[in-house]
Amino acid sequence: MRPSPHDALNRWLAAERDDRPEAGDAADVADAALREVFAALPQLAPAAGFADRVLARAGLQPEQRDVFASRALRLVLVLSLIATSLGAIWLPPTLRALARLWTLSGVVRLGARALAEGSRGLATALSLGEWLFSLGRALSAPLMTPQVMAALTAGLLVSGLAFRFLRDQLTGERSLSYVDPL
């Protein structure tokens, strides 16, 4: 027979009343009685599917449809399975016929041609890269002269000061009132 929750509550209250700071044993008894009170409380849990019903009623959860319930989809799946099985039956003879068309010398010739075309493409890419590198060098050489560097530095300084004055001008005109006082 389970002890009454009221008995556990009464024991806990009595232990709390008797609790003194110098008595360490009374605190342990009170803690044990409190644990017993909490253990005697019934477990509260919603019924299974509660959250799903709430979301469905609120309209936040889309209805889940069975994908395979459609007859058209089942028919498509059956036809796909039949086509795959027929393809598996016809695949070996088709591969044998294709293998007769290709010979070892044809495969070697194809590999040599692919290697030559790949080498030609790599050479074209490298020559384009070399041309771009020389163009960049030709464009950057005049920029490295002291006169151009001084002009670029002066332009940077002027634009920085203009930005600073523009920022000061814009932030100086800001206020919380939109209408001038009368």
Do residues 40 and 5 make contact, with C-beta atoms less than 8 angstroms apart?
A: yes
| Whether residue 52 has pLDDT greater than 90 | no
SS (H, E, C) 15-83: HHHCCCCCCHHHHHHHHHHHHHHHHHCCCCCCCCCHHHHHHHHHCCCCCCCCHHHCHHHHHHHHHHHHH
Quote the CA–CA distance of 125 and 143 in Å, as a whole number.
Answer: 28
CA-closest candidate to residue 30, choices 21, 40, 47, 17: 17
pLDDT in tens, 110-164: 889 999 999 999 999 999 999 999 999 999 888 889 999 999 999 999 999 999 9
| Domain extent listing, the chain | 5-58, 68-166
Confidence at residue 33, expressed as pLDDT on a 0 to 100 scale: 81
